[in-house]
């Protein structure tokens, strides 16, 4: 597939819908990222929004999953492909089933418990609720990344502080949620329709057609949990 240049949130949302997967940052598969496909002058432009500001609008426009899904770095995954992607990464387990089987990391559990109580939380709210011991503070970021890599947590939007004129400023705060809350009951029905291995094979076949210049090892690393 020949990827178009990305000049707006609408362009990215359209590509996510078509390609199914789109890393935000440059990776080992050449030409397959928002970073590489966006003109340099649109990054940190003083008089216009750019890729950093487009992330929230892309999530809303495409109703897609966004989070640290690709080797601990950010990636968009379309609504169409995320159930299979989550099934593969979760190895067929809901998080509560993973807990029952003794497979969940103990330090990840408090984050999930908070997101079960509140369907979404800003990053600072989630950290405040979870990090009331030094050990939890130390492990918070790595646990949050791990839960995103396992597809139990995603970012549902970004929110900005506003000045007295109502204009947003600064870095957007991520609003964390779960795919079950974000996509609703349809996701819950679709995620485990297949064996995890079948989901992985479907995604691999799709990516091989999408990225003929990528090696099977590169595609495997995109799919891999680590």
Burial degree of 58 (CB within 10 A; 0-12, 13-18, 19+): buried
pLDDT of residue 140: 94
Average pLDDT of every residue of the chain? 93
pLDDT of residue 166: 67
Q: Looking at the whole model, is its pTM more than 0.85? A: yes
The answer, yes or no, to whether residue 213 has pLDDT greater than 90, is yes
The answer, yes or no, to whether residue 44 has pLDDT greater than 90, is no
Question: Buried (b) or exposed (e) across 21-37, using 16+ Cβ within 10 A?
Answer: bbbbeebebeebbbebb
Q: How far is it, in rounded angstroms, from Cα 30 to Cα 132?
A: 42
pLDDT of residue 162: 72
Q: Order the strands of the 168-177 sheet from edge to edge.
A: 120-122, 168-177, 154-162
Give the residue-averaged pLDDT of 183-208.
93
Give the residue-averaged pLDDT of 138-153.
96
Question: Buried (b) or exposed (e) across 112-149, using 16+ Cβ within 10 A?
Answer: bebbeeeebbbbeebbebbbeeeeeeebbeebbbbbbb
Q: How far is it, in rounded angstroms, from Cα 41 to Cα 34?
A: 13
The answer, yes or no, to whether residue 16 has pLDDT greater than 80, is yes
Angle (CA) 19 20 23, round 5°: 85
pLDDT of residue 20: 98
pLDDT band at residue 72, thresholds of 50, 70 and 90? Answer: very high
Mean pLDDT lowest among 41-45, 107-111, 135-139, 162-166: 162-166
Residue scoring higher pLDDT (167 or 81): 81
- Tens-digit pLDDT profile for residues 149-195: 999 999 999 998 776 666 766 678 999 999 999 999 888 889 899 99
Mean pLDDT lowest among 40-44, 120-124, 143-147, 196-200: 40-44
The answer, yes or no, to whether residue 4 has pLDDT greater than 70, is yes
Q: How far is it, in rounded angstroms, from Cα 204 to Cα 162?
A: 42
The answer, yes or no, to whether residue 138 has pLDDT greater than 90, is no
The answer, yes or no, to whether residue 135 has pLDDT greater than 80, is no
């Amino acid at each position: 597939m020949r990827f178009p240049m990305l000049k707006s949130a609408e362009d990215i949302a359209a590509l996510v819908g078509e390609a199914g997967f789109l890393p935000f940052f440059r990776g080992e598969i050449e030409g397959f990222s928002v970073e590489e496909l966006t003109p340099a002058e649109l990054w940190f432009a003083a008089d216009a929004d750019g890729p950093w500001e487009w992330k929230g609008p892309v999530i809303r426009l495409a109703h897609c999953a966004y989070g640290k899904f690709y080797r601990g770095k950010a990636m968009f995954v379309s609504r169409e492909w995320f159930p299979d992607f989550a099934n593969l990464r979760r190895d067929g387990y809901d998080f509560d089933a993973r807990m029952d089987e003794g497979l969940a990391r103990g330090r990840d559990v408090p984050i999930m418990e908070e997101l079960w109580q509140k369907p979404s939380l800003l990053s600072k709210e989630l950290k405040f609720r979870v990090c009331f011991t030094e050990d939890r503070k130390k492990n918070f970021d790595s646990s949050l990344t791990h839960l995103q890599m396992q597809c139990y947590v995603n970012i549902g939007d970004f929110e900005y502080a506003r000045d007295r004129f109502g204009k947003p400023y600064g870095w957007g705060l991520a609003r964390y949620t779960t795919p079950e809350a974000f996509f609703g009951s349809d996701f819950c029905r679709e995620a485990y329709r297949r064996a995890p291995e079948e989901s992985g094979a479907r995604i691999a076949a799709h990516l091989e057609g999408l990225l003929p210049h990528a090696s099977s090892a590169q595609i495997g690393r995109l799919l891999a949990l680590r």
